[in-house]
Amino acid sequence: MSRQTSRLDAKKVNSELLTLTYGALVSQMLKEIENTDDVNKQLERIGYNMGVRLIEDFLARTSSSRCLEMRETADKIQHAFRLYLNMQPTVTSWSSSGDEFSLVWDQCPLSEWVEMPSNGLKYCALIPGAIRGALQMVQLDVQCWFVQDQLKGDAITELRVKYIKRLEDAVPAGED
Amino acid sequence: MADEIVFDLLHSEIINYALDQSKDNNDKKEVDLSVVEYIGFAAGYKIMERLTREWPRFKDELDTMKFICTDFWTCIYKKQIDNLRTNHQGVYVLQDNAFRFLNNFSNGHQYLEYAPRYVAYTCGLIRGGLANLCINSVVTAEVQSMPSCKFHIHVQRT
């Protein structure tokens, strides 16, 4: 006897499971950790750890070469968003010196079905963490923060990325 | 739609987080995986609601288990459960010979002691999914050799 209904869509289920699991993690953290700032920090750290490992996958899959300029970096971050979260953020608001830009999106799989309490929680803090972690592995030190957030009532979500410095290769300790 | 690797990484970070928390709370060597299990439960409970929305009603408990072993498992773990056994009195044993979260480990005994960390989430996921279908259960896992894993489901009847 075969079922009439169509089979489940594996990609969709996986993506929904990610969203729900992330939601469960955040709510669990809010329960365990009283201070919302600490929750933000934890989420950022988790993102950082994921970014550190995600960059390897990204480089292997896209076989992209070293970025010589922030504009290239921005393009690649945009590509990574498409690859990993299937979203297409726009890169805008370049600063005149070209070392700061914004990523703007209006829909993110992580923040689906989310309603926020107004307590200063940065729900998507995972994303800036991941960007920071990934870029650190290619010797770029950046700062990432949210300027606007849909979950807080803004029309769009805007993530600002600022170039700090290029990390230099150092001589391993004790090998001088 | 998010890529699989993102979920894999998040899964291992959840375990990391739980280990950190239990380190802070007590100095004992024992690790507290209940948080991981609970996160799995919450996710399983909600995903089941979405998956079965347009699904025909399950005939009985066994039919529900079959759904978990085939469709549910294929979506999340890329393969079906290899073996389903039951005593027809509320105990089900689901055996997966190449469990997704254990696949990347060495086949030897080296990391066997860490295996429970990587199956806790899935125990919760099954328990949560069944809970939303009105089956209260206790789910435990048993890893004898990597990467194969047995999930024991004890249905609670009261």
What digits encode the pLDDT tens for the residues A109-140? 888 888 887 778 888 899 999 999 999 999 88
A70 contacts A143 by C-beta, under 8 angstroms = no
Question: pLDDT class for A165, splitting at 50, 70, 90?
Answer: confident
CA distance A5 to chain B (A): 7
CATH number, domain with residue B17: 3.30.1380.20
CA distances from B156 to A86, B90, B131, B151, B153 (A): 41, 8, 11, 16, 9
Q: Are A43 and A129 in contact (CB under 8 A)?
A: yes
Q: Which of B5, B10, B40 sits opposite A22 (nearest CB)?
A: B10
- Residue A96 in tokens: 């005149």
What are φ and ψ of residue B135, in 5° steps? -120, 110
DSSP string, A130-176: HHHHHHHTTTEEEEEEEEE-GGGT-SSEEEEEEEEEEPPP-PPTT--
Average per-residue pLDDT for chain A: 86
CA of B60 vs chain A CAs: smallest distance (Å) = 15
Where does the pLDDT of residue B25 fall: very low under 50, low under 70, confident under 90, or very high at 90 and above?
low
The whole domain housing B147 covers 1-155
Domain count of chain B?
A: 1
CB-based contact, A28 to chain B, within 8 Å: yes
Q: Which domains does chain A have, with CATH numbers?
A: 15-166 (3.30.1380.20)
Chain A residues with beta carbon closer than 8 angstroms to that of B34: none
Q: Is there a contact between A39 and A29 (Cβ–Cβ < 8 Å)? A: yes
Tell me the backbone φ, ψ of residue B89, rounded to 5 degrees: -125, 25
Q: Which residues of B touch A57 (CB under 8 A)?
A: 5
pTM attached to this predicted model = 0.86
Q: What would the two tokens of residue B62 be?
A: 């066994």
What ipTM did this prediction achieve?
0.87
When CB atoms are compared, the residue of B5, B11, B71 closest to A8 is B71
What pLDDT was estimated at residue A5?
46
Tens-digit pLDDT profile for residues B49-66: 888 888 888 888 888 888
The band of B145, judged by pLDDT with boundaries at 50, 70 and 90, is confident
